[in-house]
Amino acid sequence: MVKLKAFDKFENTTDALNAASHLVDSKLPKGLRKFLKAQCQGETLAIADSKLGKAISDKLEINCVNNAAVAELMRGLRSQLSELISGLAGQDMAPMSLGLSHSLSRYKLKFSPDKVDTMIVQAIGLLDDLDKELNTYAMRVREWYGWHFPELAKIVADNVQYAKSVKLMGSRTNAADLDFSGILQEEVEAEMKEAAVISMGTEVSDHDMLNIKSLCDQVIALSEYRGQLFDYLRSRMNAIAPNLTIMVGELVGARLIAHAGSLINLAKHPASTVQILGAEKALFRALKTKHETPKYGLIYHASLIGQAAPKFKGKISRVLAAKSALSIRMDALGEGSEASIGIESRAKVEARLRQLEGRALGKTVSTPGSKGKPSIQAYDKDRKSGTPGLVSSAKIYNTAADVTMDIVPTEEADSTPAKKKKKSKEAVEEAPEPVVEAAEATPAAKKKKKSKDAAEATPEPAAEATEATPPTKKKKKSKDAATPTPQATVAVAVAVTPELTKSGKKKRKAEAEAVAEAAVEAAVEAVNGTSEKKKKKKKSKEETA
């Protein structure tokens, strides 16, 4: 059905890669343009890519066709390519296509020495080893020199400053004549010199002191190399994974890359895996024992999670892992080297953190790399327009909701029914004699001045009680108030006791107690008398009936 009209081969792999990369992007390479001008002028061209056909028709004015029949024709040409082109065997096609595909993959991923993440994996591993060795050496210096100057361990807390001080001082007897201003602060230096005079350490020979100083040199050298290695790691992380560095920091980002093996492998992980990366042992133990799974792994050491409250660490780690996964993919597969995605994502995570903590939500500042995107205004139901922070009104104590109880005085008898008034009158008419006796039972004349106050406080007969009332009270009182009932008598007797007990003397207390007891007995007798009379009246009524 078809036959070969023209064929042009590439001279080397570079030309083939250039042409393939242009065709993938639906662009017209120079070699194909020259070939079409020479072979296809005035012809109708069958094209598999419609975008490429439009570019050819616009630039070369060649009519192009793209439909289902063309797609079927292209499939047949690929399968019969070795028969259409003479001298091209099937065994030669496989290595050529494989080499071209590898070259094209490297070109699409922008493979370059600056993107090699193996250096980060090695650097973070060496940094962790240095930290362990430095800690071991520093503790050995403290323990070794502590036999000679044990007080120095508590005075100087930093390991590097301790090693430098030991190297400069040597024996503790030299501390008073040396200047430590380049190593320690003035207060710490003064305290160290005072402790060196009264130290309880043992003497050390010069040979032992040389070995201690050589160990101090090792500690100082390791600490300096660790600082240089950290600077190198920071620069590599900013070059290879700038977005991830902004999200979680240099150390945490480098540990995530090292744990996954490479930046590409880390980009393949979903956000849920990034969140618990480094806590696999706890995860499988929780799944086996059917307990709660861990909420975070290596990402726990990020600064954003450290700022969150303990109850919000799980939520913030989930949000941070989701945004970090996007940043990792941007770093691994993106073309640009800017950290715009990381800056925007970190701002969103910080806004989420403030929202959880209930703080005022400010507007997110638009960064230069945001490409003109509008700033994000987070929603807050407690925030009013034009006012910063939470402006909900403070709660005020509602006095109207209080329940108050009105205390009815004993003298208020107007609210009682008419029948009860009559019964109370009968009880009062029979009860005045005990009240008078109780009043007469109090001592009439006392030599001391305080006896007058006590005499005034004792209950008097009903007639005198009405005259002794203060003028501020209302003059019009009911008859029931003028003639004290048994309940009023008890109230008067009880009210007398606190005034009498305030004197603080035993005699007055005894007299007050006697008055109160007499009044109570009189009231009880009056009540009993009225109850007996009631019974007699009831019996007489029954007999008459």
How far is residue 134's CA from residue 141's CA, in Å, rounded to a whole number?
Answer: 11
How many separate helices (H) and strands (E) can be counted in the chain? 26, 2
Q: Is the pLDDT assigned to residue 467 strictly greater than 90?
A: no
How far is residue 484's CA from residue 435's CA, in Å, rounded to a whole number?
Answer: 9
Q: Average pLDDT, stretch 439-456?
A: 41
366, two tokens: 């638009």
Q: What is the 3-state secondary structure (H, E, C) of 116-183?
A: CCHHHHHHHHHHHHHHHHHHHHHHHHHHHHCCCCCCHHHHCCCHHHHHHHHHHHCCHHHHHHCCCCCC
How would residue 421 be classed by pLDDT, with cut points 50, 70 and 90?
Answer: very low
pLDDT of residue 245: 94
How would residue 115 be classed by pLDDT, with cut points 50, 70 and 90?
Answer: low
How far is residue 267's CA from residue 249's CA, in Å, rounded to a whole number?
Answer: 17
Beta bridge partners of 63: 44
Contacting residues for 392 by C-beta, under 8 A, at least 6 apart: 382
Q: Average pLDDT, stretch 169-181?
A: 89
Share of the chain above pLDDT 90, in %: 36
Four-CA torsion 191, 192, 197, 198, nearest 10 degrees: 70
Q: Are 59 and 28 in contact (CB under 8 A)?
A: yes
Mean pLDDT, the chain, integer = 76
288, two tokens: 């086996």
How is residue 213 annotated by DSSP? H
How far is residue 426's CA from residue 432's CA, in Å, rounded to a whole number?
Answer: 11
Q: Are 107 and 17 in contact (CB under 8 A)?
A: yes
Q: Are 95 and 183 in contact (CB under 8 A)?
A: no
* Range name among 53-57, 155-159, 384-388, 491-495 with the lowest pLDDT average: 491-495
CA torsion sign for 442, 447, 452, 453 is negative
For the ranges 47-61, 106-120, 264-278, the maximum mean pLDDT occurs at: 264-278
Q: Is the pLDDT assigned to residue 275 strictly greater than 80?
A: yes
How far is residue 469's CA from residue 464's CA, in Å, rounded to a whole number?
Answer: 9
How far is residue 258's CA from residue 242's CA, in Å, rounded to a whole number?
Answer: 16
Phi and psi based region of residue 358 (left: phi greater than 0; alpha: psi -120 to 50; beta: remaining): left
pLDDT of residue 212: 94
pLDDT of residue 434: 41
How far is residue 156's CA from residue 175's CA, in Å, rounded to a whole number?
Answer: 14
* Range name among 10-19, 352-361, 419-428 with the lowest pLDDT average: 419-428
Higher-confidence residue: 91 or 342? 342
How would residue 2 be classed by pLDDT, with cut points 50, 70 and 90?
Answer: confident
How far is residue 411's CA from residue 102's CA, in Å, rounded to a whole number?
Answer: 111
How far is residue 171's CA from residue 152's CA, in Å, rounded to a whole number?
Answer: 12
Nearest Cα residue to 349 out of 303, 304, 299? 304
Q: What is the pLDDT of residues 393-416, one digit of tens each?
A: 556 777 777 776 655 554 444 444
Contacting residues for 492 by C-beta, under 8 A, at least 6 apart: 459, 484, 519
pLDDT of residue 327: 94
Angle between helices 13-24 and 30-39 (to 10 degrees): 90
Q: Average pLDDT, stretch 511-523?
A: 80
260, two tokens: 């996954």
Q: Average pLDDT, stretch 65-85?
A: 85
